[in-house]
Amino acid sequence: MVGIVLVSHSFELAHGLAALASQVAGSEVRVEPAGGGPDGTLGTTGDVVWNAISRADCGQGVVVLADLGSSVLTVRHLLEEGRSNGHVRLVDAPFVEGAIAAAVMSSAGQDLDEVARAAEDARGASKF
């Protein structure tokens, strides 16, 4: 299955969303949170994100969602270092809806392209 990584400035936001996505999609999907800076501060750190990517990676690709601003930059910096072998994809998607959509698509056995597309398509989804 495609792994999902949730990058947030907030430890609680990343972990809370990971718990929600896992509850909806099922625990068989690896949804890994990467949130917070050193010592409980708000922020993102490359090592935390990279470790989450490594945990999420089952060999079928990883979709990474970021909350805002420098979360995106942290992920981009990691990917530009070339440590991922091309199957880690940062998607431009709403954080909550994108995570849920991606996790469900992954749990349904869809591939990296389909999971990434579901996350990005979440932008157009109405809540009710």
Partner 1 sequence: MLAVQASFNPENSASSRGPVSEITVALPAAVALHARPAANFVKTAIRFRSRVTVGVNGKIADAKSILAVLALGATGGTVLKLNAEGEDAPAALDALAACVSGLVE
Give residues in contact with partner 1 (CB under 8 A).
23-26, 97, 100-101, 104-105, 107-110, 118, 121-122, 125-128
In one letter, which amino acid is 7?
A: V
CB of 44 to partner 1, least distance (A): 26
Q: Which residues pair with 7 in a beta bridge?
A: 34, 66
CB of 109 to partner 1, least distance (A): 8
46 vs 111, beta carbon nearer partner 1:
111
Distance CA 112, CA 3 (A): 9
CB of 6 to partner 1, least distance (A): 16
CB of 126 to partner 1, least distance (A): 5
52 vs 105, beta carbon nearer partner 1:
105
Question: What DSSP element (H or E) covers 8?
Answer: strand 3-8
78 vs 99, beta carbon nearer partner 1:
99
In one letter, which amino acid is 2?
A: V
Tell which residue, 52, 56, 51, 69, has the closest CA to residue 9: 69
Would you state the torsion angle of the CA atoms of residues 116, 117, 120, 125, taken in this order, to the nearest 10 degrees?
-130
32 vs 97, beta carbon nearer partner 1:
97
